[in-house]
Amino acid sequence: MIAIVAGLTFSVAANAAEKFKINKVSTTKHGRNYGTGPKIDYLKVKFTGTGDDLLLHAQSYDIDSTGEVTIELNGDLIGTLPTTADNGKSEGTLWLLPAGMQKTGSNSIKFTRVGGDRTWGVTKLGMFEPGSSKTAFGYLKAIKGDIKHPRSVRIYTPLNGDQAHIGIKFFDVDTSNEVRVSISGQSAGSPAITGNNRFGNASYYSIPSNGGWIEFTNALVTGSPLAWGVKITDTDRAYGAVSVGGFRRLSSSEWDEAAVRRVLHTFAWGGHPRHTTITAWANMPPEVAIVQMLNFKHHNSLLSRPHAQDRDGLSNQPNTLASIRSYLSRSSQVPWSERFLFRDDWAMGMALATSTNLRGLNPFRNRIGIWETNYHMATNLNAGVEDPQMERYYDTVMKSLEKNEPYQKTMAAAAASAAIAKQYAHHESRYYPDEDFCECNEDFAREYYQLFFGILGEYNPEYHETTVVKNMARVLTGIEVVWNNSLQREPTVPRFVSDYHYRGDLDLLPGSVSFDRGNAKYRLQDISDVAINHPESLKNLPVKIIAGLADDNMTDAKASVIRNAWASMSEKNLLDFIRAYAISDTFHNATRVKYWNSFDRTMIFNNAFYFTNREVFTSTWQVNRYDDEGFKLFEPKHNVFGGQRGPEAARSTDVFRNVYNGSSEDLWRFTRTREYHSGLFWEKNWASVIPKKNGRHKVKDVGEFLWNRFIGDGLKNFGPVERAHVYALLGSRFDLMQGVDPSSLNRIISMADMETDANLVNYVNKLSRQELNLTSSSRSIRDNANVKVGRAVAFISATPFALAQEGL
Amino acid sequence: MAAKTHSPDRRDFLKKAVATGALYTAGGLPMLSEIAEASGYATPSGPIVVNVTLLGGPDMRHLLPPAYTSSTSSYGYNFWRARARAFGIGSSPAAWQRRWNDRYYQRGSGASRFGILKSAPWLRDMWDDGNVAIVNNVIGSTSRDHEHSIMVMDQGNRKTGPNDLIRSGWGGRLAQALDANVVSVSHTPRPFCYGAHPSGDITRIDTKSLVGADDTRSFSLYKAQTSGSQAQWDDRGMLARTLRSYYGGLKKDIDPDSIYAEFVEMESKVRKFGRQIDQRLRSVSEPARFRTLQHWEKSPMRHPGFGLQARNLHDALACSDILNMRVGSMEMGAWDSHEGQAEMIEPNFKDLFGNNMAFDTLWQNLPGKIRKRVVFCFQGEFGRQLMANGENGTDHGRANSVILIGQKVNGGIYGDMFPEGEIARLNRPSADIQGLTTIDHVYGALCDWAQPGTGDIVFPNRDSSRVEAGVRLDRLFA
């Protein structure tokens, strides 16, 4: 049977009557000589992944030795049931199921008895979501929670899994010796006292890879259970950022809210965190905060907090491009007149852009995915790549990243895609051994090294040209993307055939030979493993990554630090690298400049401006305004060399004019207060995001909030003149010039005026103390206040500071 | 093979023009220049250099191939044999000859015979008028990497490394040397347009001399549509007024070294030029043909966006006094012809040089006073390999030809167009055109034409770089 609850689906092969629910355990017993069900030697449980980490819960019965019963996730061994006394039961145990090990769609957990006597059992099966209030274990009677773990809670990483990290909130810890933490048997101290019947602040722990475990034990319990427990607030694959050498990590004093916002603007287009979350991140050690901020999970509820008004369930929707498009094209939350957009081939980029602005997903994931597929490893819908191939390409790259594979495997997966084969036209490349003739071209043979890995062949141009590129062209034979009549389109995955593939060994980069592996796919994997460690790649690729994502003013000094950090990773891991960089003084650096391209700027604005998904759904054309500036996702301006770059946008009169006129001529975008669209209604409510201070929305506070929200510079550039204009727009019906002197509407106001014109200064000071009635019960007063905020936002978004980011 | 330097006598060209029926210039509309003369076009204050970047590595040998000859030892024979696939034709000499006869205007004589693709009649006409210089064997980057090679070409610096992203461009430096502006008519300005930073720090750029004119007919910033007592109720006008005041204040206050100063400068330029350009263009109507060329659905061009660029260039030249324009920048992509080269690049050449296409239309609509002061430079980041690949295309090479067009150009062939030594290499994998003349000399000569002495300023390494033996680039311009 199959039951679907909140996006998770369970079915039990052996017990058709069983029903499972998310964040709960089932008391049904499975096994042999255990419970009343059928006698079985294996049990298969299915569930539908959400794209996020999950925790499997199980309790074993009569397991005589380690390894007697194995646990597999989709065929990958993740652990074994704990041993017990004869006819005894273990404590309920948890296993982390990383998102990257799950499949999109149906997944299976299989318990198999592989040894010992025939009696065995498993019960208390459940699947828990980290972060859920139900994912708390211990003796939580006071809060009506779990009471089945009175002594201890243990969590394992998968046997073939990476190091994992978890956030834990302890419950009702009364003394410093009450609860002990051990990691794979080694003491890891005790948590802080929390106070009675309450959870404390989150603590963070690392669990070793490959079946490592963490255990929380109540050391004081002897007879009757004592109140205590742990809530698992977050899981993440790694705090790998801290282990990347070469970068100097910011100290806690340097890591402040401005630093957090810089990271968010650059790597997540600001995201949708609550302002309290930003404060919390700023108060954490940077290496802890960055793990919460940046990850490749499908959903990051801290970075992209779902809005209470949204009922779209996106936070449970798999965050693949295919899934999001399907959702957007069918959901009743999207105006019916707009749904077609997300079905149409030409609007695939629009779907991805829209999802970047939707709450409940993960803007960092989109940020990196878009950079990979539109810049670093760009393919182009206008160059022969078909829409389904592009969609598959994006999801293939993201799948590899979320699996935390070594970076070269991501590039190998991309290289083996139909999209790349079509883009570079080697899908028809064939080698004819009888004639020793290669019907092929050198395009991707060269660009695979140059664009993907940064190897230009400077080490020996002649050899690179006449041997490596030529032979690589032969590697890329027998990759077929042939029209499929039954599909009525080309396939999204190439067919790797031996027939027309070059079947000999080939010399490639000096010292490396690509041995015949039967087809191109396996050879690409081998070749990537070599290329990633080539000196030219070590020199160029990390600089290319950082320059592409975050720094338009790369200097030799910064490049040197970046290269050292990259080189220090024995296995190149993109997420670790980005995290380490994002909390380093190489990123938070006065020489760093990031010019926003049209897409960056639009996404940053949208993420700050739209607070509900409904607003996004009903504003599709506004959300995608970057299109007016010639930017199109999956149709990069420079073809395989990527889309519009920040420095290009910065020097484009057209872009500047669009920004400027967009804030004045198109002011309505900022000031509309409600919309009724195809049966869907929203009302702009700035009060829902702007916090009150002392119970009021004062102009000064609102102005500073808006500046930080949209510009994210810690108010560095919110100087007296900027404040004067913003305060005027927030605090009055008029602009600053009219407010000061209606006869001088065209007055230019500079710093000198703010220092010498007492009348002006007094006026601005008075405005700063005005209050905005954003929470008035009167709709017209409320609307009026929201319109004023909209005008201020329009002004802020047309200042120079909305067009680029300084590094410090 | 071809003469090292062949500068055809201008009188010969006039004779040839009469013989071929090309009585005047491209488009065959001699009276248009007089019509234009009478309108509101500015008189350029000096020579204007317009750089046209063809992105992807344009195969100039496809545009200008050698004559087919039946002698199996000749360059012409071996070229067509090695390149047959790239032309999309069979492997028989008859097919090669047919293609040569059918698709090319044949020019030159003897070993210097070459063809001009028939989809490029404007180029033919300009050649026949003695207005085209074909400079051969020109080398920029040696890496065969698009990005790096484009950087080298934009920056005009052969020493530029692959990570040297932020450097000045030779167009920007030329504009600075001329105390004028470089006007970019493409959607985003190429790095070619970036000027050198006044501090002398080569890792910084300066864009004060750069004017982006990607849509000359919508150049202005929005301004309040109301005045007087109505103004206070005009929300849009209020925002426009606020921004105007704010940017005006910033212009006084901002640190010139701030990264944001560039945007303040841009606002100032757009505001300054906008009204004057609007006013000027009211007296220079938009040629109707441009409206068709830039139309995304009706355009006969593969690249309607280039039609818009040509229109922008027309307008910018009409406003050259307002813009203080002495350098222009255009770009066209889609030249990376690894597969199906003929189908890919022949339409591109047609977009550029076809009848009533971009440059023909532009030329027809420019008055004589501008025509005689503008030179177009067509170049890409590198050339292609000598031999076609297995997919009817050509792969990356290094050296290429640069084409200069203008009435002040001393038309002819500069450098050996089809070097004898290539015959032995025509069928060799990876072999490409040997670079004998560096870009410094070619672009430097163009700078010197714009204003004597600027070549050494813009290309300070010119003296130490090489030029093909016997080639006199100092004779490129009249």
Mutate to test the interface with B, among A442, A592, A668 (most CBs of B within 10 A): A442
Residue B226: closest C-alpha in chain A = A745
Contact, A69 vs A120, CB < 8 A? yes
Q: What is the pLDDT of residue B39?
A: 62
Tell if the CB–CB gap between A437 and B253 is shorter than 8 Å.
no
Q: What is the pLDDT of residue B12?
A: 37
Q: What is the pLDDT of residue A20?
A: 55
Hey, which residues 273-332 in chain B have their CB within 8 Å of chain A? none
Which residue in A285, A157, A257, A131 sits closest to A211, CA to CA?
Answer: A157
CB pairs under 8 A between A and B: 224
Point out the residue among B244, B334, B390 whose CB comes nearest to the CB of A440. Answer: B390
Point out the residue among A456, A593, A657 whose CB comes nearest to the CB of B270. Answer: A657
Point out the residue among B211, B215, B242 whose CB comes nearest to the CB of A736. Answer: B242
* Structure-block tokens of residue A643: 């889309």
Kindly tell me if the per-residue pLDDT of A379 is higher than 80. Answer: yes
* Residues A445-501 pLDDT 10s: 999 999 999 999 999 999 999 999 999 999 999 999 999 999 999 999 999 999 999
Kindly tell me if the per-residue pLDDT of A352 is higher than 60. Answer: yes
Point out the residue among A458, A641, A800 whose CB comes nearest to the CB of B264. Answer: A800
Q: What is the pLDDT of residue A21?
A: 67
Using pLDDT thresholds of 50, 70 and 90, give the confidence band for residue A165: confident
Q: What residue segments make up the domains of chain B, in order of their start?
A: 5-219+231-475
Using pLDDT thresholds of 50, 70 and 90, give the confidence band for residue B23: very low
Would an 8 Å CB–CB cutoff place B215 in contact with chain A? Answer: yes
Kindly tell me if the per-residue pLDDT of A238 is higher than 80. Answer: no
Which chain A residues touch B269 with a CB distance below 8 Å?
653
Point out the residue among B188, B396, B429 whose CB comes nearest to the CB of A470. Answer: B429
Would an 8 Å CB–CB cutoff place B91 in contact with chain A? Answer: no
Which chain A residues touch B144 with a CB distance below 8 Å?
446, 457, 465
- Report the alpha-carbon angle B298-B300-B306, nearest 5: 95
Asked which of A221, A240, A259 is the last residue of a domain, the reply is A240
Point out the residue among B203, B213, B333 whose CB comes nearest to the CB of A555. Answer: B203
Contact, B293 vs B361, CB < 8 A? yes
Kindly tell me if the per-residue pLDDT of B76 is higher than 80. Answer: yes
Contact, B135 vs B468, CB < 8 A? no
Residue A542: closest C-alpha in chain B = B163
Tell if the CB–CB gap between A735 and B242 is shorter than 8 Å.
yes
Shortest distance, CA B251 to any CA of chain A (angstroms)? 9
A611 domain residue, yes or no: no
Once rounded to an integer, what is the mean pLDDT over residues B14-31? 34
A502 domain residue, yes or no: no
Which chain A residues touch B194 with a CB distance below 8 Å?
651
Point out the residue among A425, A456, A736 whose CB comes nearest to the CB of B162. Answer: A456
Mutate to test the interface with A, among B143, B192, B246 (most CBs of A within 10 A): B246
Kindly tell me if the per-residue pLDDT of A544 is higher than 50. Answer: yes
CA-CA distances (angstroms) from residue A799 to A191, A559, B130, B239, B354? 48, 30, 51, 12, 44
Point out the residue among B249, B270, B389 whose CB comes nearest to the CB of A440. Answer: B389
Which chain B residues touch A752 with a CB distance below 8 Å?
252-253
Most confident of A116-120, A342-346, A483-487, A675-679: A483-487
Residue A738: closest C-alpha in chain B = B232
* Residues B106-131 pLDDT 10s: 998 887 899 999 999 999 999 999 99
Shortest distance, CA A282 to any CA of chain B (angstroms)? 26
Contact, B262 vs A595, CB < 8 A? no
Tell if the CB–CB gap between A466 and B241 is shorter than 8 Å.
no
Residue A465: closest C-alpha in chain B = B430
* Structure-block tokens of residue A70: 């194995």
* Structure-block tokens of residue A518: 């039967």
Would an 8 Å CB–CB cutoff place B212 in contact with chain A? Answer: yes
Point out the residue among B215, B235, B241 whose CB comes nearest to the CB of A737. Answer: B241
Kindly tell me if the per-residue pLDDT of A54 is higher than 50. Answer: yes
More confident residue, A622 or A577: A577
Contact, A598 vs A626, CB < 8 A? yes
Tell if the CB–CB gap between B250 and A800 is shorter than 8 Å.
yes
Shortest distance, CA A345 to any CA of chain B (angstroms)? 19
Which chain B residues touch A803 with a CB distance below 8 Å?
260, 263
Average pLDDT, chain A: 91
Question: What is the DSSP pairing of strand B210-212 with strand B205-206?
Answer: unpaired
Mutate to test the interface with A, among B163, B242, B348, B387 (most CBs of A within 10 A): B242
User: Residue by residue, what is the 3-state secondary structure of A318-365?
Assistant: CCCHHHHHHHHHHCCCCCHHHHHHHHCHHHHHHHHHHHHHCCCCCHHH
Q: What is the pLDDT of residue A246?
A: 84
Which chain A residues touch B303 with a CB distance below 8 Å?
none
* Structure-block tokens of residue A73: 């996730």
CA-CA distances (angstroms) from residue A340 to A322, A351, A682, B443? 15, 11, 21, 51
Which chain A residues touch B210 with a CB distance below 8 Å?
651
Q: What is the pLDDT of residue A475?
A: 97
Instruction: Kindly tell me the burial class for residue B94, based on how many C-beta atoms sit within 10 Å of its own C-beta (0-12, 13-18, 19 or more).
Output: exposed
Tell if the CB–CB gap between B221 and A660 is shorter than 8 Å.
yes
Contact, A792 vs A609, CB < 8 A? no
Which chain A residues touch B433 with a CB distance below 8 Å?
none
Tell if the CB–CB gap between A547 and B338 is shorter than 8 Å.
no
Hey, which residues 362-391 in chain B have their CB within 8 Å of chain A? 389-391
Would an 8 Å CB–CB cutoff place B246 in contact with chain A? Answer: yes
A94 domain residue, yes or no: yes
Point out the residue among B213, B243, B336 whose CB comes nearest to the CB of A663. Answer: B243
Amino acid, single-letter form, for residue B406: G
Kindly tell me if the per-residue pLDDT of A5 is higher than 50. Answer: no
Largest CA distance in chain A: 97
How many separate domains does chain A show?
A: 2
Tell if the CB–CB gap between B193 and A446 is shorter than 8 Å.
no
Contact, A442 vs A394, CB < 8 A? no
A232 domain residue, yes or no: yes
DSSP H or E stretch at residue A753:
helix A751-756
Would an 8 Å CB–CB cutoff place B69 in contact with chain A? Answer: no
Range in A1-10, A284-293, A601-610, B427-436 with the lowest mean pLDDT? A1-10
Point out the residue among A648, A748, A803 whose CB comes nearest to the CB of B188. Answer: A648
CA-CA distances (angstroms) from residue A164 to A59, A161, A213, A214, A410? 22, 8, 9, 10, 21
Which chain B residues touch A755 with a CB distance below 8 Å?
none
Q: For B18, which DSSP code?
A: H
Amino acid, single-letter form, for residue A606: N
Which chain B residues touch A801 with a CB distance below 8 Å?
260
* Residues A306-321 pLDDT 10s: 998 888 889 888 999 9
Kindly tell me if the per-residue pLDDT of B71 is higher than 90. Answer: yes
Using pLDDT thresholds of 50, 70 and 90, give the confidence band for residue B11: very low
- Report the alpha-carbon angle A262-A712-B250, nearest 5: 120
Which chain A residues touch B163 with a CB distance below 8 Å?
540, 543-544, 547, 554, 559
Instruction: Please state the ipTM of this predicted complex.
Output: 0.88
**Alpha helices of A358-486 — where are they, by DSSP H?**
363-371, 387-402, 407-415, 418-423, 443-447, 461-463, 470-475
A506 domain residue, yes or no: no
Point out the residue among B144, B249, B429 whose CB comes nearest to the CB of A750. Answer: B249
Amino acid, single-letter form, for residue B47: P
CA distance B168 to A293: 37
DSSP H or E stretch at residue B376:
strand B374-380
Find the helix packing angle between B75-83 and B93-103, rounded to 10°.
Answer: 100
Once rounded to an integer, what is the mean pLDDT over residues A569-574? 94
- Structural domain span for residue A791: 686-806
Percent of chain A's residues with pLDDT above 70? 96
* Structure-block tokens of residue A737: 């010039």
Asked which of A196, A216, A240 is the last residue of a domain, the reply is A240
Kindly tell me if the per-residue pLDDT of B244 is higher than 90. Answer: yes
Q: What is the pLDDT of residue B464?
A: 87
Q: What is the pLDDT of residue A15?
A: 40
CA distance A767 to A761: 10
Tell if the CB–CB gap between B145 and A663 is shorter than 8 Å.
no
Give percent helix, percent strand, percent coil of chain B, each to the nearest 5.
45, 15, 40
Kindly tell me if the per-residue pLDDT of A766 is higher than 50. Answer: yes
Average pLDDT, chain B: 91
Using pLDDT thresholds of 50, 70 and 90, give the confidence band for residue B103: very high
